[in-house]
Chain A
Amino acid sequence: MNRRTLINWFLGTTVGALVLSVLYPVLRFMTPPKIAEANTNQVEAGLVNDPQLLEKGYKIVHFGADPVILLKAGDSDFRAFSATCTHLDCIVGYQKEQTRIYCNCHGGCYDLQGRNVAGPPPRPLTPYKVNLVAKGSDPSLIVVSKA
């Protein structure tokens, strides 16, 4: 190895190291930092006579940063599931006439137990627990919590 080759090798290696030491912070910068989210265990989803529930039979509840679908399946039968379609992350809705949970993105279908019954979804929707809290003579309050 002559002097010229040695210098080229040395320069090449150090330039390579320089490129790496520039790329490292750049890639770290581009990777979004994890932001701690408040841990939500239960939310108040409104009263049992909520007009939206009475009219459409469902409403989307903000469970922390997650959407949860709250259904009115019967007079005092309220059910809640994760509203995120297990197929490709869309938010599902409720079709009152067909009594099914339906995802408009790719036609994913779930029954009122949250089971994936038709279309592409690979898994059932995660169920949430629903409690009705009576407040004297006032309509009961719907409380959704993690199952």
Chain B
Amino acid sequence: MSKVSSALKTGGAWLDDRLGVSELKEFASHKTVPAHRYTVFYYLGGITLFFFLLQICTGVLLMLYYRPSAEEAFESVEFIMTTVPFGWLIRSIHSWSANLMVFFLFLHLVSVFFLKAYRPPRELTWVTGVLLMALTMGFGFSGYLLPWNQLAFFATKVGTDIAGVVPVIGPWLLRFLRGGDRVTGATLSRFYGWHVAILPAITFTIVMAHLVLVQLKGMSVPASCEDEVKRRTPMKFFPHFALRDLFGWIVALGVIVTIAAFFPWELGEKADLFAPAYENIRPEWYFVFMFQTLKLVPGGAIAGIEYEAIPILLFGLGGAALALVPFLDRRATRDGRSPLLTFIGALALVFIVGMTCWGYASMLPLLIMIAAAALLWGLAWATRSRDEAAAAPPRAGMVAGAALLVVALFALRMSAAPTSCTNCHQDKAKTFAADVHSQIGLSCHNCHGGNPDPKLSDDMVKAMNGLTAPKRADIPAFCGKCHSDAKFMKGFNPAARVDEVQEYWSSKHGQLLKQGDTNVATCIDCHSVHNIRRKSQQDSPVYKTNVAETCSHCHSNPKLMAHYAIPTDQYARWRVSVHANALINKGDVAAPTCNDCHGNHGAMPPGVESISFVCGRCHAREAEIFRKSNKHELWARHNEMMNGMACSTCHQEGVRAKLSLTHFAECITCHENHSVVRPSVALLGVIPETPCAFCHEGVGALSTRVAEIPEKAEHFKEVRDALLATAKAKGLTGDARFDWLVDQAQHLPYHRVNVDPKIAAKLRPEFLRLFEKFRIGKTHYTYKELNGQEVTVAVRRCNDCHDEKDSPGLANATAYLDATRGLTSMVGRADRILLSAHRGGVEVRKVRAELDGAIDSQIELQTLVHTFASPDVKAKEKEGLQHAEAALVAGKSSLDELNYRRKGLFTALAVILMVLIGLVFKIRVL
């Protein structure tokens, strides 16, 4: 033992001779830190230094795997995040500590500025500090591009473009920064060089100079604390201050590790040089105040200098002025205070924070600054001298607020100029003011004739000279005077159609009108009169979402329709359809309404035998598969035979199809026409006992091979049993119970984004997909009309026509159901696993790709139902299950990874806590 200690001593002495450690120790032992109410601010620089050191360590590690080229950069970062052990941790620490370094550097700068610590002889310390801030921003800007994702690409494109507007040197600067005219792989290599070599070399030198200056010149004492410092015993730098600094560093380490574990840095999507920019794209938060300022500058130039260059030059001057503050602020040198500079600094701070808030359209940046100020103030107060407890608490030093400007906008309402007509027809004039004709400058006389001179109001004979008010039968021709005149219409709208009236005469409405039936719809019944809106205006009766209701004004009127012997429940039946749900409830204007199938001006009912051509305009794949199917051929042959033949020619009485159909009208035979409810598993007629089974109760070999997470399986059983018990209490059975369970499933809090029952149910995206894309639906749908009448539509099911014993069809339906259920449950299971892992912060995009493959197969499987044959279905099921299995296996390993990360984090935090406790004890016994 003694030999070892003597060897160590000898070794220590040898090193001391060469490194001069004892001289450093001697220097440190004499160094003191002034004790006063703002001492806590001295730690801000140290914390910034800690994050800088973390940057170096993690940055060097990342270089082991990072490949700086446009082809490989994104993939290499993805490799780091998903494959390299602890890669996610190292990269996340690098990214988070970069941001925290900027934040603490900013706090350090603000505290030094307001405490006037730049006074002589510390001018150079300040200047080197400001240079370090500029270099840090350079690090941030260059490092942001390195993952080569969309956000980085656009931020760099915009950032470098801004540099290009600097007068005189702009074009050169742009090429210098980008390594060419555009942001390409050349820019990436260049930024990498700056980020890992040039900037670190410069920064290291300046950091060393900054630290040496801090050590040589000591800490500055604010003028307001000079008396306090004289009264209080200074703190020894080593070990007293250094141990406290270390305490802060270890707390920072714990914080950064926790943030990195719970919120790993996003990877984004690989940069696509030709993709449109994201919405709300903006640079890193510390550039946002400049970015927001530039957004406010209008385009244009003055004396050959673009307006944009002015704020850029001002920011440049501001930066230079900041660096020169010690030389500009002569008053602080004289008497330690300089209210003017403090005021300017506070204004700049308000500007920076305010602009950042504006840029994010959020008060969060302001709240963060207030929280940071409150924390520092609290620490300053907590570390005040015990014998000065009665003394006044320290002033916050900086109080800043952001002012919000409220601008009120007043819309100008256009109103028609008064005419001789409006003097009498004031009611019409009122509504006509918002009419599209009024808005383009037309008035009553342009359609009706007459003399509009307002002076003629009292002379009805002159005012009404040549005036016409069309009869119903003449309305199409009346409107057509202008709307069929291409030359006239092009004066208002070059793209306007002029064949509406011609089309109208070819429609059922037009044909009947020609025959003298004036009850049929003409222009004004759909478009209204004197209150006509553009069809793109939401309050127009022919706006996409209003068309069905407009048609229903006549077609739901039993009195009007009685003459034509057509049903009046089409509107109500359409309202339960998948089309109405998409259009009315979801606002999806691509969904069809009446005129998409029947035409608008040329409205005609489509022939039943060609219905798949109407539906196939949108459902092309389904129509194509159906037309190739055996069913299509059989139906066509059957329809042909039925021309002139009776059912009994072929069928024995009593063995006919249950629905007594004589003609098979393609799509609508199964889907019906107006009430096309979302086709779901309920159509098959062989559904399982509960709809829950589709997602939660797996079938097939894969479900036994890869088990559900036990807690999830247990939870599901509890919820399902509770629901079944309630259904039993309500006396629900069969289809009614199935439908009730589908409704309940959509309201379960675990399936919803919001749990507030007052807010309309919004399903989580993954459950929405299961219900909508995977076709889990009810057997009956109900729509309640405004008059309180309910229309219930039963889904048409296979066994409505086929006898259940009648078999190849039933066997196909059962095989199809098993396939879809097997795949749905496995997708659901894989999704649950993935979501758990993803919410825990594990990067799961590769697993997600497999899951997407399974989902695609499932969606294609749905389409294949139109083949009415099981071999195609089996092949697609197999393909989907292969993807699902890969996703399940990968998902399980992601979940294991998450558990591993959590355990690792808690172990690390426990160790950090122990070190902190040790440090507290150590500081107390010093």
Interfacial chain B residues near A18, Cβ < 8 Å: 250, 911-912, 915
A136 on the interface (CB 8 Å rule)? Answer: no
List 20 contacting pairs A-B, 8 Å CB cutoff, sorted by A: A4-B925, A7-B921, A10-B918, A11-B918, A11-B921, A11-B922, A14-B918, A15-B915, A15-B918, A18-B250, A18-B915, A25-B90, A25-B904, A26-B61, A26-B90, A28-B85, A29-B61, A29-B85, A29-B89, A33-B83
Binding site for A on B (CB under 8 A): 61, 64, 83-87, 89-90, 250, 904, 907-908, 911-912, 914-915, 917-919, 921-922, 925
A8 within 8 A of B: yes
Q: Please report the C-alpha to C-alpha distance between residue A18 and residue B915 in the assembled complex, in whole angstroms.
A: 8
Q: Which residues of A contact B919 (CB under 8 A)?
A: 11
Q: CB-CB < 8 A to B904: which residues of A? A: 25
- In the complex, per-residue mask of A1-33: 1 if CB is within 8 Å of any chain B CB, else 0: 001100110110011011001000110111111
Residue of B nearest to A28 (CB): B85
Is A35 part of the binding interface, using a Cβ–Cβ cutoff of 8 Å? Answer: yes
A21 touches B911 (CB 8 A): yes
Write out the residue numbers on chain B whose beta carbons fall within 8 Å of the beta carbon of A3: 925
Q: Which residues of A contact B915 (CB under 8 A)?
A: 11, 14-15, 17-18
Distance of A21 Cα from B86 Cα, bound (Å): 12
Known contacts A4-B925, A29-B86, A33-B83; is-contact A17 B911 (Cβ 8 Å): yes
Interchain nearest-CB distance for B421 vs A (Å)? 83
- Which positions 102-141 of chain A face chain B at CB distance < 8 Å? none
User: Provided the pairs A14-B918, A21-B911 are in contact, do residues A35 and B83 lie with their beta carbons within 8 angstroms?
Assistant: yes
- On chain A, the residues within 8 Å of B917 by CB distance are 14
Which residues on the A side are within 8 Å of B87 (C-beta)?
29
Contact A21 B85 (CB under 8 A): no
Chain A's closest residue to B82 (CB) is A33
A31 touching B85 by the CB < 8 A rule? Answer: yes
Besides the known contacts A14-B917, A18-B912, 16 further A-B residue pairs in the complex with CB atoms under 8 A apart: A11-B919, A11-B921, A14-B915, A14-B918, A18-B911, A18-B915, A21-B908, A25-B89, A25-B90, A25-B904, A28-B85, A29-B84, A29-B87, A29-B90, A32-B84, A35-B83
CB-CB under 8 A from A30, the residues of chain B are 61, 64
A141 to chain B minimum Cβ distance, whole angstroms, is: 32
CA distance A14 to B85 in the complex (A): 25
Complex formed: what's the CA distance from A17 to B907 in Å? 10
Q: By the criterion CB–CB under 8 Å, are A28 and B86 in contact?
A: yes
In the complex, A23→B915 CA distance in Å? 16
Q: Which residue in chain B gives the minimum CB-CB distance to A25?
A: B86
Number of A-B contacts (CB under 8 A): 58
- A-B complex: 7 closest residue pairs judged by Cβ atoms: A11-B918, A25-B86, A14-B914, A28-B85, A14-B915, A29-B86, A7-B921
Which of A7, A29, A31, A33 contacts B922, CB < 8 Å? A7
- In the assembled complex, the CB of B381 is this many whole angstroms from the nearest CB of chain A, namely 28
Residues on A with beta carbons closer than 8 Å to the beta carbon of B84: 29, 32-33
CA distance A72 to B61 in the complex (A): 47
CB–CB B85/A33 < 8 A: yes
Chain B residues whose CB sits within 8 angstroms of the CB of A10 once the complex forms: 914, 918, 921
Listed in ascending order, the chain A residues whose CB lies under 8 Å from chain B are: 3-4, 7-8, 10-11, 14-15, 17-18, 21, 25-26, 28-33, 35
A26 contacts across to B, CB distance below 8 A: 61, 86, 90
**How distant is A17 from chain B, measured CB to nearest CB, in Å?**
5
In the complex, A4→B918 CA distance in Å? 11
Residue on B with the closest CB to A20?
Answer: B911
Bound Cα distance from A5 to B221, whole angstroms: 36
B438 smallest CB distance to A (angstroms): 71
A15 to B243: give the CA distance in the assembly, Å: 13
Nearest residue (CB) in B for A3 is B925
Identify the closest chain B residue to A6 (Cβ).
B921
A132 vs B915: C-alpha distance when bound (angstroms)? 70
Q: List the B side residues contacting A29 at CB < 8 Å.
A: 61, 64, 84-87, 89-90
The CA-CA distance from A30 to B85 in the complex, in Å, is 8
Task: State in angstroms the CA–CA spacing of A14 and B915 once bound together.
Answer: 5
Chain B residues near A4 (CB, 8 Å)?
925
Report B-chain residues with C-beta under 8 Å of the C-beta of A31: 85
Contact (Cβ within 8 A) B922 A14: no
Contacts of A14 in B (CB 8 A): 911, 914-915, 917-918
Cα–Cα, bound, A29→B60 (Å):
12
Selected contact of B925 from candidates A7, A15, A17, A25, CB within 8 Å: A7
Q: Which residues of A contact B912 (CB under 8 A)?
A: 18
Q: Inside 8 A of A25's CB, which chain B residues have their CB?
A: 85-86, 89-90, 904
Residues of B within 8 A of A11 (CB): 915, 918-919, 921-922
CB-nearest residue of chain B relative to A35?
B83
Report the minimum CB–CB distance from B392 to chain A (whole Å): 36
Q: How far is the CB of B247 from chain A (nearest CB, A)?
A: 11
Residue ID in chain A nearest B924 by CB atoms: A7
A99: shortest Cβ distance to chain B, in Å? 42
For A21, list chain B residues within 8 Å (CB).
907-908, 911
* B699 CB to nearest A CB, Å: 31
* B903 smallest CB distance to A (angstroms): 12
Closest beta carbon of chain A to B96's beta carbon, Å: 15
CA distance A30 to B86 in the complex (A): 9
A28 to B829, CA, bound (A): 32
Query: What residues on A are CB-neighbors of B925 within 8 Å?
Result: 3-4, 7
B242 to chain A, nearest CB (A): 13
Please, which residues of chain B bring their CB within 8 A of the CB of A15? 915, 918
Q: Which of A4, A25, A30, A35 has the most B CB atoms < 10 Å from its CB? A: A25
Alpha-carbon gap, A29 to B65, bound state (A): 10
Q: Are A17 and B914 in contact (CB under 8 A)?
A: yes
CA distance A26 to B914 in the complex (A): 21
Nearest CB of chain A from residue B243's CB, rounded to whole Å:
10
Q: How far is the CA of A65 from the CA of B90 in the complex (A)?
A: 30
Which residues does chain B contribute within 8 Å of A8, judged by CB atoms?
A: 922
- Within the complex, what minimum Cβ distance (angstroms) separates B251 from chain A? 13
Name B907's closest neighbour in chain A (CB-CB).
Answer: A21
CA distance A84 to B509 in the complex (A): 85
Q: Which residue of A lies closest to B84 (CB)?
A: A33
Q: Pick from B85, B914, B918: contact of A7, CB below 8 A.
A: B918
Q: How far is the CA of A26 from the CA of B86 in the complex (A)?
A: 8
- Expressed in whole angstroms, the Cα–Cα distance for A31 and B912 within the complex equals 25
CB distance from A133 to the nearest CB of B (A): 31
Task: State in angstroms the CA–CA spacing of A11 and B90 once bound together.
Answer: 26
Alpha-carbon gap, A25 to B907, bound state (A): 13
**A24 → B minimal CB distance (Å):** 9
A83 CA / B917 CA spacing, docked (Å):
61
CB distance from B889 to the nearest CB of A (A): 14
Shortest distance in angstroms between A102's beta carbon and chain B's nearest beta carbon?
A: 34
Question: B908 to chain A: which residues have CB within 8 Å?
Answer: 21
Query: How far, in Å, is B867 (CB) from chain A's closest CB?
Result: 35
Instruction: Give the CA-CA distance A32 to B925 in the complex, in Å.
Output: 45
Question: What residues of chain A lie closer than 8 Å to B922, measured between beta carbons?
Answer: 7-8, 11
Which chain A residue lies CB-closest to B57?
A: A26
Docked CA distance A8–B578 (Å): 73
Provide the residues of chain B in CB contact with A17, threshold 8 Å: 911, 914-915
Could you tell me the distance in whole angstroms from the C-beta of A77 to the nearest C-beta in chain B? 42
Chain B contacts of A35 at CB under 8 A?
83
Chain A residues with CB below 8 A from B86, complex form:
25-26, 28-29
Q: Measured between alpha carbons, how far is A104 from B590 in the docked complex, in Å?
A: 69
A137 to B917, CA, bound (A): 85
User: How far is it, in angstroms, between the C-alpha of A4 and the C-alpha of B925 when the chains are bound?
Assistant: 7
B259 → chain A, closest Cβ, in Å? 16
Complex: A136 Cα to B83 Cα, angstroms: 48
Look across to chain A and name the residue whose beta carbon is closest to the beta carbon of B921. A7
Q: When chains A and B are docked, how far (Å) is the Cα of A3 from the Cα of B914?
A: 17
A109 to chain B, nearest CB (A): 38
Closest chain A CB from B842 CB (angstroms): 16
Alpha-carbon distance A30/B917, docked complex (angstroms): 31
A2 to chain B, nearest CB (A): 10
Shortest Cβ distance from B907 into chain A, in angstroms?
A: 7
- Report A22 CB to chain B, min CB distance, Å: 8
Complex CA gap A8/B922 in Å reads 7
Complex: chain A residue closest to B93, CB-CB: A25
**Closest CB-CB distance, A19 to chain B, in whole Å?**
10
